[in-house]
Each structure stands twice: as structure tokens, then as C-alpha cells.
Structure 1
Amino acid sequence: MTTVIPYLCVRDAAAALDFYRIAFDAVEDARWTEDDGRIVHAQFTIGEATCFVADEHPEIGVRAPSAYGGTPVSLVLRVADADATVARAVAAGATVEQAVADHPYHERRGWVVDPFGHRWAVNSRTEEVTEQELRERIGEERGSAISQHRE
């Protein structure tokens, strides 16, 4: 079996685990802490998705997004209710980057940045659409690109 697991680096992994629990209903599965108190590795799940998180370890090149002025990576979280999840994330300390709104490709989505510098697209499906309906909504040119990627 092949899988991809995001491995997040943060400043204050214990606080990050608390944030993910409150904001995204994450469940902590494991935690290993070094003698100096830093979390060297923790595992949590959100729904069926596994994620890893650790404190910064600059001595081996493991740095949080703030060390680079932000992150070029976004995590996509598909949930039943994007509005409620974004509201929980904001109440727990996230910053709204883009308010939750309906999009023509059958999703309701908002973007938040968690207190540790990681970007999350929080999506919920609003309806099922065929590929043809999707093409009509977003334009034939962009629809052709979608088809090419699906093949």
C-alpha cells in the first residue's frame, strides 16, 4: 500500500495538537518527547487521514513555516460543514485567509492559516456534478484541462 502522510513542523507541537483537536476534531494517536521537552514525533488523525507533527529541530534542518516567512504547501481538509469547521478553527486561533464561499465546482470552501503557519483549505461538497456540468460551470477551456488530468 502506498500513502502520503503530511509531516508538519511547528513551534510548540503540544499546542498544535491541542489546536488540531479543537479545530478539526483530530485524535492524537502517539507522541514521543525528547528529554528537552520537544516533541520529536506525534501522530494524529482527522477522520481517516493520518498526519504527523513535530517541534522544530533547527540543528537538523527541521523548521516551522515561520522560519521561511510562510509555507508554499496547503493542506486540503474535506469536511461535512466547512462553515462550522472554519468557525471552530478561528475560535481556536486560526486566521481566515479567504472566507467560506460557494464555488462553481460543487464545493463550499474557505482558507485558514493555523496559529503555527500551515494553510488549510476547508471544503465541503455542496452537490454532485457530472464532468460536463463542471465544464459548463468553469468554462470549456479549463474543463479540457481537468479532463486531461483525469485521464
Structure 2
Amino acid sequence: MTDNRLQAGEAFPAFMLPDGQGQSHALSDYVGRYVVLYAYPKDDTPGCTREACDFRDSARLREMGAVILGISQDDAASHQRFAEKYSLPFPLLTDDGEFLASIGAYGEKNSYGKVTQGVKRSTFIIDPEGKLVKSWLAVKVDGHAEAVADAIAGDMESRA
């Protein structure tokens, strides 16, 4: 699989993916708002839980009106349990890996010398017109939600 690196300013690929409730979400549903799409490896694991809770708790992202969407390969039932357990107020989308691969968030990973295929912890900020503002393809969880808020604030300022 190729490592697809989207460039800032490019139109973000369209998607239509189901969440934990079976509801479909399309990028076009959020035209006019910033979208934070974050890809994570697995529901209810320590790093993924910290990341989800940091996005949940970000007052800055809420104040900016940013839409948060999580995405992984976990199934709808797993997403529903995870969202309920941690009171996550945003949709968790499920993908078979095809869309994740198309945005560079799925592929070969090296963890402590072990090479596997899977979801790479990644984040994409999409502007109100559907274009990529910024991406992180190797996310470190601590401080990440704040860095995302800073990037959106910077983009908003550049448009003002």
C-alpha cells in the first residue's frame, strides 16, 4: 500500500461512513465548519482513550465550533460501548481500512521493532470549504488536542 500524503490546500477526499449508532456521516454534512478527523488504532485502549477524552474535554475546540470525528476499524458495537463508557459527544466512524489507507492513516507500523499493518494514529483538519488545513501522520497524544486547536485558530486568523 502506498503512503498517501495529502497536501495542505487540497480538497479532502469525500467519505460516507457509519458511526456506532449506524448513522452515516459524509464530509459534505459539515460544509461551513472546521472538521477534525482523527484516526486511532483501537477503542478503549490507554492511548486511544486519552486522545478521545482530550478531544472531548477541549473547550477551545468546542468554542470554535469544530466538528470532531474519530475513525478506526472497530465495529459499530465497539464504538458505541467506547463512546458511552467515556461520554464521548462526537461520532466514532468505522472503516474497513480502505478510506483510512486513501488518506495515509493505514499501513505498515513499527512498534518496538514489530512491524504490523494497521491504523496509524493520525489527525486531519479540514476547513469549512472541505480543504485540508493540516495533518499529523504520527500523533503523540499528550498535548495534541491543544495543538489541533492552535492550528485551527491560526487558520481562522489567516482568513480574517
TM-score, length of structure 1 as denominator length: 0.28
Bigger Cα Rg:
1
* Structure with more strand by fraction: 1
